[in-house]
């Protein structure tokens, strides 16, 4: 009787274990099935988002036109969160909900309206492209509704954010879009009678701001980007507000990288003692690091009688180039102003950088800048580089 009871108990335990294994196996299969369904759903949603991006990319001229270029310097407060279609494509699988995808796409249009203005050619292109995007959202809405339901997708379409976006920038505020790239209105300005944007009279060459004037975009004309100040010296030197170094805009008050004196090795066959010493320029130098360049603040720009371009200003020093106490602390990107002024040829300018005071640095970064080219300056040194003081 005891053996029979024990066998019955063993058989019962064996059946229970088999049932548990079966239940666990079914549960595991369900989990795997759910994971596969979720992955398939995410893949299909990503394909829908990619389809929308492709629709916008087909309007190649428009999408490229409304992305602000980083080749020019503009006020760093204008765009605090730039984005483009390429960035959205790279993280297309990271969007878990349509709303986050919609926010990034609308940010492209928001930046275009804020940067160029609604009345500009770029603003008009952005509005047309926004209509294309809205139509594509209407087309894909039923497919996305299958995965997310009406509640989660209601902010995707019909979307009130599109109309809110246009209303946000459809204001009567004045828009400054000048060829010099500076958006402040401290100097006298003139307004285009067609697109209603403002430009500096100094940059346009207009003496009377009350005249009827049409900007270069509305009139489809070429403009001279070398803007003169109409200031001359007796020896024929002419001063400028902006000059071009190749395709790089150089303005007064800009900070730039200056190539240090690097001589060109002379050809042994053709070299002679009477040959002038040649130095490297931005066109001839190779494999140069910006850390090997001087940082220079431009105060004046001018051309001499022979047409040679020069920038006049002062240098900045890195902390390791000054005398200071061993306990002195610096920011990682801090530089020190030195009151030594000189004139350098524009051919020695390697690129643009940005020098900010701590208060401005805390507010944000210049639009289109690289963080590695942004510096803080809060100290100055004497000509002997032996003492530091607050600016």
> What are the extents of the domains in the chain?
28-169, 174-223, 240-390
Q: Is the pLDDT of residue 167 over 60?
A: no
Position 29 scores a pLDDT of: 54
d(CA 76, CA 365) in angstroms, rounded, equals 6
Would the pLDDT of 47 be above 60?
yes
User: Per-residue pLDDT for 239 more than 90?
Assistant: yes
How confident is the prediction for the chain on average, in pLDDT?
Answer: 76
Confidence of residue 28 (pLDDT cuts 50, 70, 90): low
Q: Which residue has the higher pLDDT, 116 or 335?
A: 335
- According to CATH, the topology of domain 28-169 is Histone Acetyltransferase; Chain A (1.20.920)
Position with higher pLDDT, 65 vs 171: 65
Residues above pLDDT 70, as percent of the chain: 70
What is the spatial distance between Cα 115 and Cα 73, in angstroms, rounded to a whole number?
12
The count of C-alpha atoms lying within 13 angstroms of the C-alpha of 229, restricted to the half-sphere facing its C-beta, is 16
List the structure tokens of 337: 């102003």
> Where does the pLDDT of residue 312 fall: very low under 50, low under 70, confident under 90, or very high at 90 and above?
very high
Place of tokens 């000059």: 243
- DSSP codes, 136-158: HHHHHHHHHHHHHHHHHHTTTSS
Q: Where does 174-223 sit in CATH, by number?
A: 3.30.40.10
For residue 299, give the 3-state DSSP assignment: strand
pLDDT of residue 16: 60
3-state secondary structure of 375: strand
User: Domain 240-390 sits in which CATH superfamily?
Assistant: Bromo adjacent homology (BAH) domain (2.30.30.490)
DSSP structure class, residue 72: S
Task: Please report the beta strands in the chain, taking only residues with DSSP state E, as ranges in sequence order.
Answer: 175-176, 189-191, 197-200, 227-232, 238-245, 248-251, 255-258, 294-303, 309-317, 334-345, 349-356, 374-381, 388-390
Q: What is the pLDDT of residue 299?
A: 94
Q: Within 10 Å of residue 216's Cβ, how many Cβ atoms?
A: 13
pLDDT at 313: 94
């Amino acid at each position: 009787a005891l053996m029979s009871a024990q066998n019955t108990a063993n058989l019962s335990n064996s059946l229970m274990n088999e049932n548990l294994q079966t239940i666990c196996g079914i549960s595991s299969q369900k989990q795997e099935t759910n994971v596969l369904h979720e992955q398939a759903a995410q893949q299909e949603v990503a394909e829908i988002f990619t389809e929308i991006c492709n629709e916008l990319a087909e309007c190649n001229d428009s999408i490229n036109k409304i992305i602000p270029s980083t080749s020019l310097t503009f006020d760093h407060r204008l765009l605090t969160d730039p984005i483009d279609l390429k960035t959205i494509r790279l993280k297309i699988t990271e969007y878990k909900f349509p709303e986050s995808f919609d926010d990034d796409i609308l940010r492209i249009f928001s930046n275009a309206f804020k940067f160029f203005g609604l009345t500009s050619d770029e603003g008009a292109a952005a509005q047309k492209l926004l209509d294309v995007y809205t139509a594509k959202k209407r087309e894909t809405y039923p497919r996305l509704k299958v995965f997310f339901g009406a509640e989660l997708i209601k902010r995707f379409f019909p979307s009130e954010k599109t109309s809110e976006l246009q209303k946000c920038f459809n204001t009567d505020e004045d828009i400054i879009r000048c060829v010099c790239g500076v958006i402040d209105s401290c100097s006298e300005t003139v307004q285009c009678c067609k697109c209603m944007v403002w430009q500096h009279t100094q940059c346009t060459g207009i003496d009377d701001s009350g005249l009827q004037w049409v900007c270069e975009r509305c009139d489809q004309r070429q403009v001279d980007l070398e803007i003169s100040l109409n200031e001359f010296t007796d020896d024929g030197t002419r001063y400028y507000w902006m000059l071009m170094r190749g395709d790089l805009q150089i303005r007064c008050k800009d900070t730039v990288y200056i190539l240090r004196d690097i001589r060109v090795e002379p050809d042994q066959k053709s070299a002679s003692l009477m040959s002038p010493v040649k130095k490297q320029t931005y066109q001839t130098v190779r494999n140069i690091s910006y850390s090997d360049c001087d940082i220079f603040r431009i105060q004046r720009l001018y051309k001499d009688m022979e047409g040679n371009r020069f920038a006049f200003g002062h240098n900045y020093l890195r902390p390791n180039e000054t005398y200071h106490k061993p306990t002195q602390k610096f920011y990682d990107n801090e530089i020190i102003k030195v009151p030594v002024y000189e004139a350098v040829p524009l051919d020695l300018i390697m690129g643009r950088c940005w020098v900010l005071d701590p208060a401005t640095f805390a507010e944000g970064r210049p639009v289109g800048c690289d963080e590695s080219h942004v510096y803080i300056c809060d100290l100055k040194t004497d000509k002997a580089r032996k003492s530091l003081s607050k600016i």
